[in-house]
Amino acid sequence: MPSTVLSRPVVLTFADGVRPGAAPLLPVVGADTQVPLARGGRTRYVGLDTAASTPALVAVAERVAETLPLYASVHRGAGYLSQVSTALYETARDTVAAFVGGRPDDVCVFTRHTTDALNLLAGCVPAGEAVLVLDCEHHADLLPWQRRGPVTVLPTGSTVTATLRALADTLARGRYALVAVTGASNVTGESLPLDAVVELAHAAGARVLVDGAQSVPHRRFSLAESDADYIAFSGHKTYAPFGSGALVGRRDWLDAAPAYLAGGGAVQDVTVEETTWAAAPHRHEGGSPNVLGAIALAAACDALAALPAGALEAHERALRERLDRGLRALPGIRQLRIWPDSAEPTGVLSFTVAGADPGLVAAYLSAEHGVGVRDGRFCAHPLLARLGVPEGALRASVGAGTTAADVDRLLTGLAAFLESGTSVPYAVVDGRWQPADDPRPLARLAGADLRAVTRGAGCGQAGGQTTLR
């Protein structure tokens, strides 16, 4: 139970005109999915964990449905649909490269996700050359470098200015082939000014990789304009949860490196003695590619690129500000920040609730309010330790499908928790908090009983309603 109680009523209504955040910016599949509550009844699911995975855009689901009947093997098939699928796959590559401002000589490799892309790049940095990374990174932008070596993991400074100074000093003292930096923290949404990082790195002869998992889906990004060398991002965080991600950037390292996966598709010619490998991107796409995943990712890029300039940023800014104001009005909530002087974060906000286990609060928000947030250490253990919360925190994140009403549901739930605690008992089962004797039929859903999921309308329809019984 929390030790804090509300000392004054929390104002959860804000003076909204017609404003960003009032309605979804883009329709997403499952916006009306109903989920069961621990005390009985159902409510519309509110997903505030877009930093982990976003729902599919309706436009993406429609593109996948349209493309499925055209699907056939790519690259080597002689059939008409093989030719069509190859054209769709290669066009998707061009779309994704253009979406991140790829230069004419950049390569776009389709990967499974950001983790895959960064592991691939780790195998392409010239052997023996060092990589420089900060300790505030997600594990996906830390462990591939750590495993590859040599790597310097620089302690994140207490301010942006101090961090840039430490970066400059380290680059001046050693020789680095690559600086790997996040486009936005998955914990706080903060980032270092990319232009400054690129300038420092390039002046020292190092390239820059941007881990765009949390930035590409939320902020316009251009390799050409930023002069960064590589960008990696994930489809499942970019409204295309169909198993594809991408690494886009300079060709030379990718062409010189060993194939990421040795096998069909990655080669030009093979004899028993010798293999001639294909150039990138095919060199690193051994095996049959995820064609529909790539097409889905391109559809998401198309939909985001078609938004008026600044619309996505304004939408997410309004929601983040609403969340920030609402959390500030609640007692015992501490928001996490890496730097006091960072520029505007993306729509990700982590916080602790005084006296309450984050896992319990997250379980309560789900079971009693139908709100999905993340709890734990967010695959950023060194950062959580640095922020003084090695035991973890809660994280809420918004996206193109999020509305002000979604944010208010979270705030209302938290306010009720702080005022009166949970209304059903909770227990830790298999390491996670959940209502004791949870009446919700999750176990059945994990098995074959998909009758528990009733689809009220096709997934291509924004208004379709899905009910979990």
**Which residues sit at the interface with ligand PMP, rule CB under 6 A?**
52, 113-115, 138, 140-141, 182, 186, 211, 213-214, 234, 236-237, 379
Please answer whether residues 327 and 351 qualify as being in contact, where contact means their C-beta atoms are separated by less than 8 angstroms: yes
Specify the residue, 211 or 302, whose C-beta has the smaller distance to ligand PMP. Answer: 211
Work out how close the CB of 248 gets to ligand PMP at its nearest, in angstroms, rounded to a whole number. Answer: 15
Q: How far apart are alpha carbons 381 and 401 in whole angstroms?
A: 29
Q: Of 368 and 375, which has the nearer Cβ to ligand PMP? A: 375
| Residues contacting 289, CB < 8 A, separation 6+ | 74, 89, 110, 265
SS3 sequence of 387-439: CCCCCCEEEEECCCCCCHHHHHHHHHHHHHHHHHCCCCCEEEECCEEEECCCC
The HSE-up count of residue 452 (CA atoms within 13 Å, CB side) is 15
Supply the minimum distance, in Å, between the C-beta of residue 260 and ligand PMP: 15
Tell me the closest approach of the beta carbon of residue 10 to ligand PMP, in angstroms: 30
Interstrand relation of 131-134 and 151-154 (parallel, antiparallel or unpaired) = parallel
Task: Give the type of residue at 282.
Answer: H
Alpha-carbon distance values, 65 to 68, 77, 87 (Å): 5, 22, 17
Distance CA 323, CA 355 (A): 21
Task: State yes or no: is 379 an active-site residue.
Answer: yes
Residue 383 CB, nearest distance to ligand PMP (Å)? 10
Query: Among residues 108, 136, 301, 379, which one is catalytic?
Result: 379
Handedness of CA 166, 171, 176, 179 (dihedral sign): positive
The C-alpha atoms of residue 103 and residue 405 are separated, in whole angstroms, by: 40
**Residues forming a β-bridge with 467:** 34, 454
The residue among 52 and 445 lying less far from ligand PMP, judged by its C-beta, is 52
| Residue closer to ligand PMP, measured from CB, 330 or 379 | 379
Least Cβ distance, residue 346 to ligand PMP (angstroms)? 10
Q: Which one, 186 or 403, has the nearer CB to ligand PMP?
A: 186
Nearer to ligand PMP, 51 or 204 (CB): 51
Instruction: State in angstroms the smallest separation of the CB of 106 from ligand PMP.
Output: 20
Q: Which is nearer to ligand PMP, 97 or 247 (CB)?
A: 247
Q: Which residues pair with 134 in a beta bridge?
A: 154
Q: Rounded to the nearest whole angstrom, what is the least distance from the CB of residue 236 to ligand PMP in the complex?
A: 6
Cβ distance 262 to 285 under 8 Å?
no
Interatomic CA distance for residues 369 and 373, integer angstroms: 11
Which residues are designated catalytic? 379
